[in-house]
Structure 1
């Protein structure tokens, strides 16, 4: 299974797999193990392992420029009950550092930019927090692998370093944050996280019978803020400004600032595990070249072409990628 170019017709004809549940308090891991194992084998036939496919993928990448995009939670770190303790391992940090020495590399997370930067602790990567609504370049932007592109990201006003398309929503976000903290403080296990340009309401530790109450309280707050929308991820509800901006837009913006958005020799490689990463997968598919890779140990509907089971496989893949670059120089 080598490098794939997807047309719109190919995308449309792909057989949909088991969809991720929309019931906020359901847990994918509750799937019957035997059925899940068989379903996963079938799913991997359509979304082959990026480790098993590594050699043909890299063979197709010879002479082209790889740009690496990485989600954080569930990709570089395991999903944990307490989101404040979603630490990445030293081995993973070292692997990302090595990859970023050879390829332009960005972390695109739903977390606040400062928070994900605190977790990652690297100075040679781009950070895009709040689902790409808060982007910062490294102190010195990394050269691309051919040494030609060293563009510094600019915001729409030409200011260097930061791009924040939802900045005008900050006062309203703080209002919503304060209201949510007051509304849900009596619901045991519920946590509100300030991600600067979006708000996360975590319910991984909320009792099932309390989930409906929590959801209603969140919706009641948003009734007075029509310019915001509610989305869902893994055991989390997220409140975001209703602007046309997502992780896919962030990917395109970063390619543009690197001077690579219109290049036919660029291969975006995006690894992520969440529904919000699907926007980035769609962008890569629409480009007709690149490697969208989903991290999942269960079958799910996705726009990704390849898969990795968990963060440990992500680590192995990144180490192989860094080694491949060194050996190919």
Structure 2
């Protein structure tokens, strides 16, 4: 369904609560555009202090996992919380919360191919002002938010040409970003299922609450279909597997805050 036709999540908190029922909510949250505002350059992204506080409080009683396309060390620096789990590089690298001992890296089959593709992209895109090639542990992102609109097609053409000569990598897209990732049966959704399995949380006992704003978050929504709650954040004018929508990262923080308030009310004598 087109995301613009979805009900507003903040007006349906009771229905979301009914979907959770007696199960334990576990939160799987994208970072850029979901918990933060989209900015011109990925290095400038900052997690609002209010949202960080909400995540810290939420993690006292629930599984909270940041599932992002960012490089894992960068994601951990940006969030700065030891109480939450992290799944960077679209779930290919996982670092559990402090004391959990959980670690996982699903690496590329051929790191040389990844490095070669990164070099080719840097070389071919260098003349186009505003392009940012971000090479991560297991993937490459080409940001073109700052590129003149009449050059967008050229950026896409160059990225496709590099993808075509890199058979071990697959090309995916997002909001003003092209991404090259290993051709592996792994994504954000599989990362979520792996983490829940490691935590011994069965499907009958847990309800994933998934928030995301971009196409790669659809993998998360797919994994949680029929047993979780999927919420798309931001510009939702596209087909999505989500059941609810939120306008922006501030509304996402408000939704998460509602769960914190509910927890505190339940613990009050």
Give the structure-1-normalised TM-score: 0.77
Counterparts of 1:195-234 in structure 2 under 5 Å? 195-234=136-175
Give the RMSD, CA atoms, in angstroms: 1.6
Matches within 5 A, 1:12-23: 16-17=1-2
How far residue 57 of structure 1 moved from its aligned partner, in angstroms, is 2.2
Higher-Rg structure is 1
Residue 249 of structure 1 and its aligned partner are, at CA, apart by 0.7
- Equivalent residue number for residue 112 of structure 1: 71
Paired with 2:9 and 2:126, the residues of 1 have a C-alpha distance of 43
Per the alignment, residue 214 of structure 2 pairs with 274
Q: Is the 8 A contact 1:169 1:197 kept in 2?
A: no
Are 2:249 and 1:290 equivalent residues in the alignment?
Answer: no
Contact kept, 8 Å, 1:72 with 1:107, in 2: the verdict is yes
2:48 to 89, 106, 119: 89
The Cα shift of 1:51 comes to 1.2
1:271 and 1:292 in contact (8 A); partners too: yes
Cα separation, partners in 2 of 1:182 and 1:58, compared to 1, 3 Å: same
Task: For 1:310 and 1:91, locate their aligned partners in 2 and report how far apart those are by CA, in whole Å.
Answer: 14
1:232 and 1:238 in contact (8 A); partners too:
yes
Query: Structure 1 CA distance, aligned partners of 2:203 and 2:151?
Result: 50
Whole-angstrom CA distance in 2 between matches of 1:263 and 1:237: 33
Structure 1 unaligned blocks of 5 or more:
1-15, 19-39, 142-151, 153-160
List per-residue Cα deviations over 1:220-274 (Å, max 9, x = no partner). 22232101111110000000011111111111111111111x3312101111111
Provide the C-alpha distance between the structure 2 equivalents of 1:69 and 1:60, rounded to a whole number of angstroms.
Answer: 16
Name the count of aligned residue pairs: 267
Other structure's SS at 1:101 match: coil
For normalisation by structure 2, the TM-score amounts to 0.94
1:130 equivalent to 2:78? Answer no
